[in-house]
Amino acid sequence: MMTESKIGPMEILLVEDGWTDARVTIYALRRSKVHHRLTLVRTVSEAVAFVRREGIFARAPRPDLVLLDMMLPDGCGLDVMEALHSPTAIGPDGNGPTTVVLTASTDPELRRRCDELKVHDYMTKPVREDEFMRVVRDHKKLMIHTTPLMEIATV
């Protein structure tokens, strides 16, 4: 019997209403050569439905990484953060996705609330690409080291 590590693409949920910011993020991810699959949603309601796997998102993948803008057209990204603690967002390992806030806000109260909700990283826009990619790569390394090994039977 041979044991081999099996890992697919990093599932990334980008919650961003600004087309320019979304394109910059998508471009940076493409240039990084990190194997990923990205879903872009533009509102709090879409993001909450995605992480709870409701409605049109009933078969959505569980995100490994959530890149979250705080100021969205229908509310605040904090509502998405709260949804990330729901049972459908929690993986079989008992952990939710890594969350990275990307925001133009410098409000200390928002930062405090993000800390309470266990945000993994908080980046103020405009985000430097090298710093952003460090966060993505660090998460990818963490996934590789914590992914259970898959048993492959050989005959």
- Those residues of the chain that have pLDDT short of 70 are 1-7, 141-155
Residue 22 confidence (pLDDT): 93
Which CATH number covers residue 77? 3.40.50.2300
As for how many domains the chain has, the answer is: 1
Fill in the DSSP letter of residue 125. Answer: S
- How far apart (Å, rounded) are the C-alpha atoms in residues 154 and 51? 37
Q: Could you tell me the residue range of the domain that residue 110 belongs to? A: 2-152
> Which tens digit of pLDDT belongs to each residue from 95-118?
888 899 999 888 999 999 999 988
Sheet containing 10-15: which strands, arranged edge to edge? 36-41, 10-15, 65-68, 98-103, 121-124
pLDDT for the residue numbered 143: 59
Start-to-end CA distance of the chain, whole Å, equals: 8
Alpha-helix runs per DSSP H in the chain = 19-32, 44-52, 77-83, 108-116, 129-146
Q: How far apart are CA 78 and CA 101, in angstroms?
A: 10
Residue 18: its pLDDT value, please?
93
The answer to whether residues 102 and 67 touch, using CB atoms and an 8 Å cutoff, is: yes
**Pairing assessment for the beta strands 65-68 and 98-103 based on DSSP bridges:** parallel
Tokens of 100: 């990275």
- So what's the pLDDT on residue 31? 85
- Note the pLDDT tens digit of each residue in 132-143: 888 888 877 655
